[in-house]
Each structure stands twice: as C-alpha cells, then as structure tokens.
Amino acid sequence: MHNSGETLATKSPNLTDHFNRIPKKLRLSITDRCNMHCVYCMPKTGIPLYPKNEILSYEEIQHLATIFAGLGVEKIRLTGGEPLVRPDIEKLIFALSNIAGIKTLGLTTNGLLLSKKAAQLKSAGLQSINLSIDTLNSDKFKSITGIDGLSQVLLSLQTARAQGFEIKINTVIIRGQNDDEIVDFAQFAIDQRCPVRFIEFMPLDGSHIWNQSLVVTKEEMIQRLNKSGFVLLPQNNPLSDPARLYSIQGQEGALGFIPSISESFCGACDRIRLTSDGKFLTCIFERPQNDVKKLLRLGKSDKEIADYLIECYQNKPQGLISLLEQKSLRSGLNLMNTIGG
C-alpha cells in the first residue's frame, strides 16, 4: 500500500525550485499515440513510439499522481498524444478524481473520439475540456491533421457542451497555414460563446518544420483583429496562467493568447509534466531524463519517489528565457506528442 496524498503532504515539503516556483498543475501525458498527424506536432512516419511495456499502466499513473498530490499538486490535465485513444480512460479519470487534494481534472483532446465518450467522461468526474481546432475549413483540416474530421470534431464540441463541460478551444496559429483564419476564430468564439485561445507555434515539433518566421506573435494577432474591428479588452488573470485573456467589446465571446515564444511566462510557471513512459519534466523545454517509472518499478517507497521528485524539481531550468539568451531555439527541441502541451 502506498501512502495517501494527505499523509505525504504532512511529511514532505512542497516542490520548490531555485526561482521559488511552486507547481500546482500536473500534465499527465497518458499515451504518445495519436489518431491525427498534425503538421506542427507528429508526422505520420519517422517518430519512434514507446514500446507498450514502457507506457505507464493506469495503476502506476494513479500511484504517481497520488504522490504528486501529496507534494502540492491540485490540478491534473490528461493529454497525449491523443488521450482518448487509450481504452477505458474513464476508469483512470474516476480513479484520479478521487485522489485527496486534486481539485480539478481536465482533458486536452483533438475531439475525434469525444462525441462517443463525452457522457462517460462526465460521469467519471472529468470537469473541463480543451478542444484543439486549428481551422474551420474542412479541406484545410485534412491537410493540417491528415484526417477528414472537422465535422466530427464540431459534433464533439456540441456533445461535450450538452454534457455541461467547461470548454476552451485551442488553436495553434502558423503563418501560411491558418493565420488567415484568426478573425474567423474570433467570430467563432462569439457565435459559440466558447473561449478560443490562440497558441504561438512552439519548436516542439516532431516534423522539424519550426522556424521563427512561422510564428505569428500575440501582438500581430491582436493587430489583425483590431484592423477587422474587434476591440479587445484585457482581463485580469493570474500570471501563472500562460493565456493572456481578453473580452471582446460589445460581444459575449472571449479570446486568449498563449504567447509561448514572444512573451515568456516562465517566471510564474506552476506546471509540471509526466510523460506516458514515466519521465518527470520540470519544464516543457527540458529533455525527458528524470525516470520516475524506474523507481516505481524497482519498488521504491513513496517517500523515496517523493524525495527524487523534490530533488529533480529543485533543478528546474529557468525556461525559455535562458534558451533565448543562448539563442538555442530550434525545431524539434522536444516532441509535443510525448509531452502533451
């Protein structure tokens, strides 16, 4: 039997790094597999996948999540690859939603399988969904994702709304691919009354296509929206939230921008990540090296695993700021299909 989260919380200090950042949010990538092949993430070929026996079982994920909760994590988001390709995900969601100290449980998905699963996910305890949609044009959807699936994803959006999930749309903007749709997405946010968050393209692409000229910055997006008559009013949201939020004057919708490249939010970062093969990432740009699964499978105690996590976290790198200073931003720095965003 492993310790409960509450027991660990009283025994162990919380995770803290040299910059006094304390993580509250854990991204659990539960698979590196995906049923889409987005051009900015995971090409159809050329990406080695983890052998199945290297992927954490649901019991192992639950065990590690309990240890993280004991170290102060309050929010968990399941991601991938595509998390919904993993069978019986609702069982994992139910188990995670019952961990002491976990206040919110979310999912990031491409939506292809969501309409079929939405009701089960809701009853299992899932609260929020980030749905990725990069284009509202069917042909372009096929060329970006490799799948003719826009209508299915839009159906999933409606089904998930009907289930009462809190939903946000994630849209990665890439120059020359979908930057002509920024205004359409703003209108979509208004019409659907569903926040759209524009994400700057990050060099975490398995396809190695990233270069700085493909990045459309938050400022450029806002200028384009202003030119089309949208007046954006900044909202106050916590610095630890990477999205800069805006309401749209005179309208119901809201927009967010995740300026991952143009405005580093590393100083207030409160996120940590666990890959599906059990590597603990203290920073999205850190190479996967902290092998927690190894300790777990060696039968180490919860206290030993917690101490290892604390030690790893103390050495969390400063983040994007230092990469920019070293001029070391380049394509494929990490693989987003293994980290999960």
Where does this chain bind ligand SF4 (CB under 6 A)? 34, 36-38, 41-42, 80-82, 110, 132, 336-337
167 strand-pairing partners: 129
341 belongs to the binding site for ligand SAM (CB under 6 A): yes
User: Which of 68, 64, 30 has the alpha carbon at shortest distance from 50?
Assistant: 30
Are 100 and 37 spatial neighbours (Cβ–Cβ below 8 Å)? no
**Minimum separation from the CB atom of position 157 to ligand SAM (A):** 13
Kindly report the number of other CB atoms within 10 A of residue 23's CB atom. 25
Q: Which stretch binds ligand SAM (CB under 6 A): 4-12, 74-82, 95-103, 214-222?
A: 74-82
How far is residue 328 from each of residues 10, 42, 108, measured CA to CA in Å?
Answer: 40, 22, 28
40 belongs to the binding site for ligand SAM (CB under 6 A): yes
- Report the side by side order of strands in the sheet with 244-248: 232-234, 244-248, 254-258, 196-200, 166-173, 128-132, 104-109, 75-79, 25-29, 271-274, 279-281, 290-291
DSSP string computed for 179-241: GGGHHHHHHHHHHHT--EEEEE--S--TT----GGGBPPHHHHHHHHHHTTPPEEE----TTS
Q: Which residues of 287-307 are buried (b: 16+ CB within 10 A; e: fewer)?
A: ebebbbbebbeeeeebbebbe
Our measurement of the distance from residue 26's CA atom to the centroid of its chain's CA atoms, rounded to an integer in Å, reads: 9
270 belongs to the binding site for ligand SAM (CB under 6 A): no
205 belongs to the binding site for ligand SAM (CB under 6 A): yes
- Report the partner that residue 319 touches, choosing among ligand SF4, ligand SAM, none (CB closer than 5 to 8 A by kind): none
Are 321 and 266 spatial neighbours (Cβ–Cβ below 8 Å)? yes
Give 34 or 186: the residue with its C-beta nearer to ligand SAM: 34
- Report the partner that residue 37 touches, choosing among ligand SF4, ligand SAM, none (CB closer than 5 to 8 A by kind): ligand SF4
82 belongs to the binding site for ligand SAM (CB under 6 A): yes
The site that binds ligand SAM (CB under 6 A) totals a number of residues, namely 21
Q: Which stretch binds ligand SAM (CB under 6 A): 13-21, 33-41, 47-55, 152-160?
A: 33-41
Give 79 or 264: the residue with its C-beta nearer to ligand SAM: 79
Binder to ligand SAM among 70, 253, 319, 340 (CB under 6 A)? 340
Give 38: exposed, middle or buried? Use CB within 10 Å, 0-12, 13-18, 19+. Answer: buried
Give the x-and-dash track for 135-174 against ligand SAM (CB under 6 A): -----------------------------------x-x--
| Tokens found for residue 178 | 């979908």
202 belongs to the binding site for ligand SAM (CB under 6 A): yes
- Report the partner that residue 282 touches, choosing among ligand SF4, ligand SAM, none (CB closer than 5 to 8 A by kind): none
Give 15 or 34: the residue with its C-beta nearer to ligand SF4: 34
Binder to ligand SAM among 62, 132, 156, 334 (CB under 6 A)? 132
Binder to ligand SAM among 3, 12, 66, 110 (CB under 6 A)? 110
**Minimum separation from the CB atom of position 305 to ligand SF4 (A):** 27
Q: What is the dihedral of CA 136, 171, 145, 319, to 10 degrees?
A: 170
**Minimum separation from the CB atom of position 172 to ligand SAM (A):** 4
Which residues would be at the binding site for ligand SAM (CB under 6 A)?
A: 34, 40-41, 79-80, 82, 108-110, 132, 170, 172, 199, 201-202, 204-205, 336-337, 340-341
